[in-house]
């Protein structure tokens, strides 16, 4: 077992397309890391470079202590699981699972058989070993593809959207199953998905990509509670975070729809850390509550659409200039068209620089870095 390290990795196609730029990441031994981002953000390219299916334009990739830039894919000691399971249709499940090992592991038939049996048990397909892939459901085929990766006992699993062909219920089930197996085997895993919920539920850490650039790396909790920029804030969490254009006036965030007065301490932190006047107040739909009192921090809004989602309600609201969403658990007494007031706690407020999109409370921008430097020199 080994960790994986990518240093300054870049992939350019032709002269103009930079699919992945300056990618730095150290994946610890046994860690489950998910690379998530919209379509075309470079996720598959990252995985394919680790697998050796794509050459890299710049940088270094290592598995354990070994630099693998020039190592052939079959010699990298990794196993891939894809969205299309890529099973051999004419082979039985057992043969599909053992084929790779028989081809180039030099292990005895007995040992291979034992490993296949163990992996099949782990995946719950031990009674399917004689069947052909066409006789199996999508979920069972996915289990075979995963079992085939397990049999090889690789240094790392690389998984590219492995659950996206399954229906929603099975996908949720397979998520927990893959997680359980990964924890049991403690095999370093890099998992690619466009589905933020999948990333947030399965991973030790999440890497968020956009346009080939890393936006943030962190635990699911970190990227949710401290998104580094508006892209991460919007991409992670469902429904997405709401944004209101504001400026800081004394200790109040003032916009067309909002005048949210802050504690002195919070206002000072924002003033201290933001280089620009134009800010964005971010608040998650689940952090909004009905206010109803005439508090000056309330937002007046009209309920445009009410959408029940299980026990939850998604309320689509409009204030003068901004559309926003509120997520409320349980009974909602308002009807579409009703006017209402909503509010939220200061502790749930995120503040971004409108020009750069950066979270002024979690990133150290040039201004605050320079100030810190000056203070240090003065001291």
Window contacting ligand ADP (CB under 6 A); options: 39-47, 168-176, 254-262, 269-277: 39-47
Interface with ligand ADP, residue 162, by CB under 6 A: no
- Find the binder of ligand ADP among 17, 168, 366, 379 (CB under 6 A): 17
Which of residues 29 and 164 has its CB atom nearest to ligand ADP in the complex? 164
> How far apart, in whole angstroms, are the C-alpha atoms of residue 262 and residue 266?
6
Enter the DSSP assignment of 110. H
From candidates 5, 43, 228, 327, binder to ligand ADP by CB under 6 A? 43
Say how far apart CA 165 and CA 139 lie, in whole Å. 9
In 3-state terms, what secondary structure has residue 231?
Answer: helix
Q: How far is the CB of 48 from ligand ADP (least distance, A)?
A: 7
Q: Quick check: 196 binds ligand ADP (CB under 6 A)?
A: no
Tokens representing 295? 């508090």
One residue of 44, 182, 193, 274 binding ligand ADP per CB under 6 A: 44
Q: Is 138 in the site for ligand ADP (CB under 6 A)?
A: no
Q: Which residue stretch of 13-21, 78-86, 230-238, 358-366 sits at the interface with ligand ADP (rule: CB under 6 A)?
A: 13-21
Q: What length is written for the chain?
A: 379
Alpha-carbon span 16 to 316, nearest angstrom: 41
- Three-state DSSP at 80 gives strand
Residues near 221 by Cβ (< 8 Å), separated by ≥ 6? none
Q: x-or-dash pattern for ligand ADP, window 78-117, by CB under 6 A?
A: ----------------------------------------
Pick the binder of ligand ADP from 6, 23, 34, 37 (CB under 6 A).
37
Which residue in the set 13, 53, 130, 221 belongs to the binding site for ligand ADP (CB under 6 A)? 13
Q: Which is nearer to ligand ADP, 17 or 379 (CB)?
A: 17
Contact predicate 349/287, CB 8 Å: no
Closest CA to 34 of 132, 143, 179: 179
The reply on whether position 42 binds ligand ADP by CB under 6 A is yes
Indicate the helix (H) or strand (E) that contains 283: strand 278-283
By C-beta, is 13 or 88 nearer to ligand ADP? 13
Burial of 7 (0-12, 13-18, 19+ CB in 10 A): middle
| Cβ distance to ligand ADP smaller for residue 43 or 287 | 43
Report the residue number, 25 or 317, with the smaller CB distance to ligand ADP. 25
Between CA 191 and CA 203 the distance in angstroms is 9
Of 41-49, 197-205, 223-231, 296-304: span binding ligand ADP (CB under 6 A): 41-49
Is residue 276 within 8 Å of residue 360, measured between CB atoms? no
19 lies in the binding site for ligand ADP (CB under 6 A):
yes
- 359 is an interface residue for ligand ADP by CB under 6 A: no
According to DSSP, residue 240 is labeled P
Q: Is 52 in the site for ligand ADP (CB under 6 A)?
A: no
Among 45, 83, 142, 297, the residue binding ligand ADP under the rule CB under 6 A is: 45
Count of alpha carbons within 13 Å of 53, Cβ hemisphere only?
11
Per CB under 6 A, the list member of 22, 28, 29, 40 interacting with ligand ADP is 40
Name the 3-class secondary structure at 96.
helix
Alpha carbon 264 to its chain's center: 34
Compute how many residues bind ligand ADP; rule: CB under 6 A: 11
> Helices in the chain by DSSP H: which ranges?
43-51, 93-104, 109-123, 138-151, 168-185, 196-202, 220-225, 230-235, 264-273, 366-378
- Nearer Cβ to ligand ADP (17/366): 17
8 or 124: CB nearest ligand ADP: 8
Residues in the site for ligand ADP, rule: CB under 6 A? 13, 17, 19, 37, 39-45
């Amino acid at each position: 077992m080994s960790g994986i390290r990518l240093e300054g990795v870049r992939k350019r196609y032709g002269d103009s397309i930079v699919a992945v730029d300056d990618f730095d990441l150290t994946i610890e031994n046994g860690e489950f890391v998910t690379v998530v981002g919209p379509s075309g953000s470079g996720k598959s390219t990252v995985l394919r470079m680790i697998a050796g299916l794509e050459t890299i334009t710049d940088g270094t990739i290592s598995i354990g202590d070994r630099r693998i830039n020039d190592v052939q894919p079959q010699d990298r000691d990794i196993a891939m699981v894809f969205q299309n399971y890529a099973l051999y249709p004419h082979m039985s499940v057992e043969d599909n699972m053992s084929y790779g090992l028989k081809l180039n592991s030099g292990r005895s038939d007995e040992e291979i058989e034992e490993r296949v049996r163990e992996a099949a048990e782990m995946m719950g397909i031990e009674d399917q070993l004689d069947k052909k892939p066409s006789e199996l459901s999508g979920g069972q085929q996915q289990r075979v593809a995963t079992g085939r990766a397990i049999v090889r006992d690789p240094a790392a699993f690389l998984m590219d959207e492995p659950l996206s062909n399954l229906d929603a219920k099975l996908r949720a089930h397979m998520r927990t199953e893959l997680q359980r197996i990964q924890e049991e085997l403690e095999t370093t895993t890099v998992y690619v998905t466009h589905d933020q919920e999948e990333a947030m539920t399965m991973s030790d850490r999440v890497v968020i990509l956009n346009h080939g650039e890393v936006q943030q790396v962190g635990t699911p909790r970190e990227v949710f509670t401290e998104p580094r920029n508006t892209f991460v804030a919007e991409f992670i969490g469902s429904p997405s975070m709401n944004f209101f254009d504001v400026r800081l006036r004394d200790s109040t965030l003032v916009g067309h729809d909002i005048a949210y007065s802050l504690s002195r301490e919070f206002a000072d932190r924002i003033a201290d850390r933001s280089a620009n006047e134009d800010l964005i107040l971010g608040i998650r739909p689940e952090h909004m509550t009905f206010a109803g009192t005439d508090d000056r921090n309330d937002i007046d809004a009209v309920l445009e659409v009410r959408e029940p989602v299980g026990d939850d309600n998604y309320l689509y609201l409009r204030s003068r200039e901004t559309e926003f969403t509120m997520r409320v658990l349980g009974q909602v007494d308002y009807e579409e068209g009703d006017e209402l007031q909503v509010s939220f706690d200061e502790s749930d407020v995120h503040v971004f620089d409108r020009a750069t999109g950066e979270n002024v409370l979690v990133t150290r921008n040039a201004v605050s870095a320079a100030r810190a430097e000056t203070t240090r020199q003065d001291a």
